[in-house]
Amino acid sequence: MLNTITVSQLNAYVKSLIENDPHLTFVNVSGEISNFKNHFSSGHWYFTLKDKNASLRCVMFRSAASRVKFEVEDGLAVTLKGRVSLYEKDGQYQFYAEEMHPIGEGDLALQFKQVKEKLEAEGLFDAQSKRPLAKYPKRIAVITSDTGAAVKDILNITSSRFPNCEIVMCPVLVQGDMAAQDMIKTLDRVYALDNIDTIIIGRGGGSAEDLHCFNDEALARKIYESPFPVISAVGHETDFTICDFVADIRASTPSHAAELAVPDIRELKSRISGYEDLLNSRMLFKYNLYDMQLKSLQNRVSVTNFERVYQKKQLDIDKITTKISDTVNKKLQDEISATSNLIARIDALSPLKVMSRGFSVVTKNDSFVASVNKLNVGDNVVIKFNDGKVKGNVTDILKK
């Protein structure tokens, strides 16, 4: 009778068989990724690799996943390198991937394509966000290696073309896994400076691997945040990086970047000299023109003509003065006549006028008496005439 074993024992035995099989220890397997899950807390990747007829459960631990340079998504065709083993807990075998490479194009090329498409869709390459360079910069920050040929070219060209411009050197790594992060930190320091007119970032030529740090997504976003115009000068004329697309200006070489960043002082002096000659020529032309016009006017306008114009204007002034005087006099006479009529009406209503015609006025206690009802027998009254007054005493009242 066979011995009975547990499920755990069986799974452990099968796992040992698989892991001890040399054909399953180092395996290259290709297929299409599906059900991709990135466990951000652990950094491990879990996905299924499939073809038309079968599927394979796969795991890629964080240490291996961190070495993948492109973005993994469902539908991506890849080749995996790794080993086969059994996950004892659920009794299913799975593939433990150590390397992942895209099928059809290299890792760096795929990463470049993915980052470019992503940032382009977000508008980081849009032409309307590009800023013009300062025409006459006073301070330029140069972010590159301090030992390469690029920095020498930039310094030589800027000093010969525009020596008054200050160059702020910012040495960085321009190659390797730490280069992108080094450039990001340096950009943060440059952004905190004052009076920076332009930033040049780049390096000389090299292989695709050498220039790969300039395709870093985080570096591209940091360049897009720049408060100052940025010139990207990476590699040679045929080399293109993500930094070239996100920068305000792309220079074909570091030397070209220096030429774009500063004007040529010799050309400026020549241009100014040309402007001076043109200005003098135009001023002389205007002077001669106005002199001819003035002499022509002097010949046409004689003293007689001037006196005739003066006399005509004087006659016009006299007519206006007479008209104003007549208007004022008429208005004054109208006001005098109206005033006289008002005085006559007031005089006609005067009590003195009435008294002069034989009437008199009776007062009691200096108040006019308009009715007999206001008097009593014994009241003292005063009767005023036009030529005097009489004092009396009321002895009798006769009413109508």
pLDDT for residue 168: 95
Tell me which fold the domain 112-125+136-263 belongs to: Rossmann fold (3.40.50)
Over residues 257-277, the pLDDT tens digits come to 999 999 998 888 887 878 887
For 7-104, CATH number out of 1.10.150.130, 2.40.50.140, 3.40.50.300, 3.90.1150.10 equals 2.40.50.140
Give the C-alpha separation, 198 to 136, whole Å: 10
pLDDT for residue 229: 96
Q: What percent of the chain has pLDDT over 70?
A: 93
pLDDT for residue 297: 76
pLDDT for residue 216: 92
∠ CA(218), CA(226), CA(118), 5° rounding? Answer: 40
User: Which residue has better confidence, 352 or 111?
Assistant: 111
Over residues 35-44, the pLDDT tens digits come to 899 887 888 9
Give the C-alpha separation, 111 to 90, whole Å: 35
For residues 340-346, give the mean pLDDT.
72
Which sign, positive or negative, has the C-alpha torsion 23, 25, 30, 36?
Answer: positive
pLDDT for residue 351: 64
Give the C-alpha separation, 4 to 19, whole Å: 24
For residues 308-320, give the mean pLDDT.
78
Over residues 156-177, the pLDDT tens digits come to 999 999 998 999 999 999 998 8
Over residues 67-109, the pLDDT tens digits come to 888 888 888 888 899 999 998 888 899 999 999 888 876 677 7
For residues 231-249, give the mean pLDDT.
90
Q: Cβ neighbours of residue 149 under 8 Å, at least 6 residues apart? A: 204, 254
Residue (of 95, 91, 83) closest to 57 by Cα position: 95
pLDDT for residue 217: 93
pLDDT band, very low/low/confident/very high, at 132 (cuts 50, 70, 90): very high
